[in-house]
Chain A
Amino acid sequence: MTLRFLCALGIALGLGFAMTRVSGAADMLHYPTQSAIAESSQLDIVGALDTPLIAPVLEDFHRLNPDISLNYHNLTTLEVYRTFMSGSDGSRADVVMSSAMPWQYQLANNGYAQPLGLDNAEQWPTWARWRQELFGITFEPVVIVYHKDLAERYGAIGSHAELVTLLEREREALTGRVVTYDPARSGAGYTYAVEEARLSPRYWELVAALGGVEADLVGTTQEMLDGLAVGRYLIGYNLLGSYAQGFVAKHPELEIVIPSDYALVMQRLAFLPRSADNPEAARRFFDYLLSEHGQRIISEQTPLGAVHPALKGPGSASALRERLGEALRPIRLGPGLLATLDKLKREALLARWHREFRRPATATNPPTPEETAP
């Protein structure tokens, strides 16, 4: 009953969540057991992480553990959740990874994850784990990407405050040239909105400013990046850093910036389901993923940031912290995430968001009493 209830809740809420997924990427990776090895085991990983990003990690793991036959299924975050809850995928997942933090937290909170009991897991930083069940394995800041033309014309953007100032000052010029997540359509966008609203009431100024320039609202980071690349947009706000980084490297006309006043940090959360068919293989994968070596692969060969505190180089959480200090705001891994999933909370926040977003349009007319009414 509970399961069905959660499913229904998930579908009801999830309809609004557009998924972060790069189109055209292969949906599945398979690493077979080497024929020489007699004893082998299976490992099914379900993740919302595009195959080019995760491939270096899986390849390295497979090189170290050739006896494990590895399957990686790339799904959208909603598909990850639905597949997991229905359990009808045929082969049940042994590792579930997703960037939809509230969903992952909800599953762990309801007891679908099992404790790992690994040394690496015990030593994992407390801010990046919940119990011994849910682990933040990456460290991905949310960034602003802008066209270099913009910097030439109006100066660089380094922070949210500068962005608000710029949007308000150059309202005419930037109308239609700014893009951000639609919180109503994108789960990630909605999560960021909740977190940013929690951080500061000035967030609503930013929303109003975005409304002022009639910013385009889209569903994925990739859409924003594509629009920036073709020059349709000058500023993209709240892009997922891990995707943007690789894209910007290939598009020198774009500039990526981690805001210096505050920067949300998203983490991919992974857990070992209680229903796993191959818990031992899954534990080996976690042992690898949470080890210094595995994290080094993540930091050096993928744009995903590494969490392991021993890593200090570029692409690690420590390096980012050193550079940005207090400004980094990792999304807290705690029961607060459950509030994000609350149906009424979502309606309330979206209502407020759209009200603020439309405020500049109504404000051009003489102020009306309705403005204060809901």
Chain B
Amino acid sequence: MSAQDSLYRRLLAWLLLPLLGLGALMLIQAYLGARDTADRAFDRLLEASSLAIAEQVKWQDEQLWLDLSPAALEMLATDAEERVFYALYNARGEFITGNANLPGLAMANGDEQALHYGNVTWNDQHLRLGIRETRLEGWSQRERFEVRVAHTREGRESLTLALFQGSLVRIAIMALLAACILVLTIRLALSPLTRLRRAIRERDPRTLAPLALNLPRELAELRETLNDLLARMRRVRANQERFIGDASHQLRTPLAGLSARAELALRQDDPALWREALQAMQATSASTARLAVQLLSMTRLNNPEASPELTPQDLNQVARTATLGALGACHREGIDLGVETSEEAILVPGVGWQLEECLANLIDNARRYGASQITVRVLANPPTLEVEDNGPGIPADLRLMVLRPFFRGQDSGEGSGLGLAIVDSIARAHHARLTLHEARQGSGLRVAIRFMGDRS
């Protein structure tokens, strides 16, 4: 069994892959969250420091004045010994003092006391910049100014890493648990399949009894389908067994007659009687041979694995050939055999000799059961082959029964009881329907083979 065909692996793959994707998303989210948390924690330092600086800003000698407190810078350093930068800018954006020309940030106007944060690259260093925009609170001077403070990101990065590692462990444990549960669940869910397989494997190959197994709904459907199949197989086998029984019975009777006739003839000394016996035996053996041939073709037709290729056949041609074949026998018995063909060719996919056999059987049947007039007819729409006679006909309640092998309408006559059964089999093989009707006029029988498969 290849990897693609394993239901277990397919389930596992389709469940684990989204799980992995989900895990990756969670990791990204955890990292962003950790960075955000670290930024927020460390931004407090920028806030405090910029506030401490802003509070020292005064107006003196007609300009902004700052008495920078070392503590305001010390608090920015953190444990990671960050590099620290600060600058004071006036309202016109002019540098007043500081240790670095820190860049400004594009910021929305509006809230005055707000602090703005941003990540900037300055002098090849990645800095977190905080800008406090405020104004002097003097009596007369309300000069606006900006305090910019920045420090490197090492402390943030190490805090981010520490937080992220914590989430990483949690997510890894959760993923592991989820994967374990998934594997167990799939195993559990697929276990009825194993039971079904085991039940089928352990069966006696000869039994066709239905499976009695408690299964979940989805598999119960499968079990029911299997049981349906088994039931059909049982019916088929019963038919086959009956057919074999009937066939052996049918063959035994003429063989026993032959044996009895030969025994009887051997007791006589008169060659004339022998001759008579031999003639009778020849007739019996001929009909027995015909029976065997019919049995053979019946078996062949019923074999689903040997379906000959269907080629387009003109039904007119078929009808003519079959009529021609039966003309001799009918003529000897004084039966009027006619054919009514359609004007245009009617093509259906089929096997020529089977269709001819079909018509021959029907003509033969009509002849044997005492018809004096037989008509073979080809109808165009739907394509139909019909054989109508003026014989005694078959009562409506027996019309289905006569299709079964070895069933005969009356227990008289020399028919094998296979004729209509063979016709039925051939009709089925051509996706055609065999129906029995009363003749259009009088008491006779009309047998129709209607080809549906082509058009339906």
Contact = CB atoms under 8 A, between A and B. Distances in A.
Contacts of A91: none
Nearest to A108: B83
B125 A1 contact: no
Contact of A110 (B72, B74, B83): B83
Contacts of A349: 67
Contacts of B84: 109, 335, 338
A131 B83 CA distance: 10
Contact of A345 (B60, B66, B77): B66
B112 interface: no
Interface string B66-77: 111111111011
Contact of B101 (A2, A109, A337, A340): A2
Nearest to A342: B68
A64 to B, nearest CB: 31
B99 interface: yes
Nearest to B82: A335
Interface in B88-105: 88, 96-101
B95 to A, nearest CB: 9
B65 A341 contact: no
B124 interface: yes
Contacts of B101: 1-2, 5
Contact of A338 (B65, B66, B73, B81): B73
Give 5 closest A-B pairs by Cβ, nearest first: A336-B70, A335-B73, A335-B84, A339-B70, A339-B68
Contacts of A2: 100-101, 122-123
Given A332-B74, A338-B73, A339-B70, 4 more contacts: A2-B122, A110-B123, A335-B76, A336-B73
25 contacts: A1-B101, A2-B101, A106-B99, A109-B84, A110-B83, A110-B99, A110-B100, A131-B81, A335-B84, A336-B71, A336-B73, A336-B74, A337-B70, A339-B70, A339-B72, A339-B73, A342-B98, A342-B99, A343-B97, A344-B66, A344-B96, A344-B97, A345-B68, A345-B97, A348-B67
A158 interface: no
Contacts of A335: 70, 73-74, 76-77, 84
A325 interface: no
Interface in B33-80: 60, 65-74, 76-77
**Residue of B73, B81, B85 with most chain A CB atoms under a 10 A cut-off:** B81
Interface string A19-63: 000000000000000000000000000000000000000000000
Contacts of A348: 65-67
Contacts of A131: 81
Given A341-B99, A348-B65, A334 B123 contact: no
A340 B70 contact: yes
Given A109-B83, A109-B84, A111-B125, A338 B67 contact: no
A344 B101 CA distance: 16
A331 B384 CA distance: 118
Nearest to B57: A344
A113 to B, nearest CB: 10
Interface of B: 60, 65-74, 76-77, 81, 83-86, 88, 96-101, 122-125
Contacts of A337: 70
B77 A334 contact: yes
A190 interface: no
Interface string A90-126: 0000000000000000100111000000000000000
A344 B74 contact: no
A103 B131 CA distance: 25
Contacts of B68: 339, 342, 344-345
B54 to A, nearest CB: 14
A342 B74 contact: no
Contacts of B76: 335
A336 to B, nearest CB: 3
A192 to B, nearest CB: 14
**Residue of A9, A109, A337, A344 with most chain B CB atoms under a 10 A cut-off:** A344
Nearest to B85: A109
B65 A344 contact: yes
Contacts of A111: 83, 123-125
A342 B66 contact: yes
Interface string A338-369: 11111111001100000000000000000000
Contacts of A106: 99
B407 to A, nearest CB: 105
Given A109-B84, A130-B81, A342 B123 contact: no
Contact of B97 (A130, A340, A342, A374): A342
Nearest to B64: A344
Nearest to B74: A336
Contacts of A110: 83, 99-100, 123
Nearest to B75: A335
Interface in A185-230: 194, 198
A332 B76 CA distance: 15
B70 A198 contact: yes
Contact of B74 (A1, A9, A334): A334
Nearest to A129: B81
Contacts of B70: 194, 198, 335-340
Interface in A221-244: none
B428 to A, nearest CB: 92
A111 B68 CA distance: 22
Contacts of A194: 70
B83 A345 contact: no
Interface string A129-156: 0110000000000000000000000000
B298 to A, nearest CB: 98
Nearest to B86: A338
A130 B80 CA distance: 10
Contacts of B97: 342-345
A336 B49 CA distance: 12
A29 B83 CA distance: 34
Contacts of A343: 97
